[in-house]
Amino acid sequence: MPDRGGYIIRTAAEGVEADEIREDIRYLGRLWAKVGKRITKSGTIKAVYSEVSHYMRTIRDLITPRVEKIRIDNKQSYDEITQFLEDYIPDLKTDVELYLGDRPIFDMYGIEDEIKKALSRKVKLKSGGDLIIDQTEAMTTIDVNTGGYLGSRNHSETILKTNLEAAKAIARQLRVRNLGGIVIVDFIDMIDPEHRHQVQRTFNKVLEKDHACSATTDLSPLGLIEMTRKRTRESLGQTLNDPCTVCAGRGDQKSAERVATKYFEKYYM
């Protein structure tokens, strides 16, 4: 601080770039100056600062120089956001655009579909295989499967291709779903040591860009890789879904036989 005071840096800041922290400090400085002005100006009792709305929080927390464009479908929010960016992040080059089309904006840009995909258990891969992603309290497991069809020739090549594609898809899913904590990936078994090596290398490489990722183990003899990913906020699933009230998230229910047996016991025995 130039004169007095200081900053509390929370554990959520672990591993972030120094530039991000510097940007936060600049932002807080400008905010503090604004609040100070409001305090001196306000003769009566009134709020000089309060936590902002959801969309403003999104702008504040998620905007980075890498965001190219923001489209907003509401004039009032648009004004508020442009004003905010002017006041606090004046150097930002991001293009902010007001969308006034008739088609709902989420529909227009396929957002609903993307959300649906990002929440579904299965992720299809181009090579025909898929990922099955399960999130439990203890960990997230990601199972890589080949598609139903496995060419009779070049069996091991197909497996390698699927695993390589899966490695890249998994890196994306971890970020999109904001999965944190322990993650275990079960790649399809590979016999060729060179193939195993290649998958391991590709996976490490795609994860390098993800600052939240750390501590990846080597591919185990069973084809597993263990890793941890920093928890920041709730996962997408936890944000957008509630646990099922019927099965409490277990994903199953009493079998018909069990219900029937119980019924017969009660009334006929």
244 binds Zn ion (CB under 5 A): yes
Two tokens at 136?
Answer: 């439990």
247 binds Zn ion (CB under 5 A): yes
Two tokens at 267?
Answer: 């009334």
Taking alpha carbons only, the member of 94, 133, 165 closest to residue 236 is 133
Of 8 and 248, the one with the shorter C-beta distance to Zn ion is 248
Two tokens at 225?
Answer: 């890789």
Minimum gap (Å) between residue 248 Cβ and Zn ion = 8
Rg (CA), the chain: 25
Site string for Zn ion, 5-24 (x = CB under 5 A): --------------------
134 binds Zn ion (CB under 5 A): no
242/231 Cα distance (integer angstroms): 19
Of 102 and 242, the one with the shorter C-beta distance to Zn ion is 242
Q: Which stretch binds Zn ion (CB under 5 A): 15-23, 104-112, 162-170, 241-249?
A: 241-249
243 binds Zn ion (CB under 5 A): no
What is the greatest pairwise CA distance in the chain?
84
Q: Which of 246, 260, 262, 263 binds Zn ion (CB under 5 A)?
A: 246
**Residue 63 backbone dihedrals phi, psi, to 5 degrees:** -75, 135
Residue type, 113: D
Of 220 and 241, the one with the shorter C-beta distance to Zn ion is 241
Minimum gap (Å) between residue 117 Cβ and Zn ion = 20
Q: Do residues 190 and 155 touch, judged by C-beta distance below 8 A?
A: no
Minimum gap (Å) between residue 246 Cβ and Zn ion = 5
Minimum gap (Å) between residue 237 Cβ and Zn ion = 14
159/197 Cα distance (integer angstroms): 13
Of 100 and 259, the one with the shorter C-beta distance to Zn ion is 259
Q: Which stretch binds Zn ion (CB under 5 A): 68-76, 142-150, 218-226, 246-254?
A: 246-254
Taking alpha carbons only, the member of 201, 174, 179, 182 closest to residue 190 is 201
Two tokens at 257?
Answer: 């036989």
Minimum gap (Å) between residue 244 Cβ and Zn ion = 3
Q: Which stretch binds Zn ion (CB under 5 A): 57-65, 74-82, 113-121, 240-248?
A: 240-248
Of 108 and 244, the one with the shorter C-beta distance to Zn ion is 244
How many of the other CB atoms lie within 10 Å of CB of 117? 14
Task: Judge residue 127's burial from the number of C-beta atoms within 10 Å of its C-beta, 0-12 exposed, 13-18 middle, 19 or more buried.
Answer: middle
Minimum gap (Å) between residue 242 Cβ and Zn ion = 11
Q: At what angle do helices 18-41 and 75-88 cross, to 10 degrees?
A: 110
Site size for Zn ion, by CB under 5 A? 3
Q: Which residue's CB comes closest to Zn ion?
A: 244
Which residues contact Zn ion (rule: CB under 5 A)? 244, 246-247
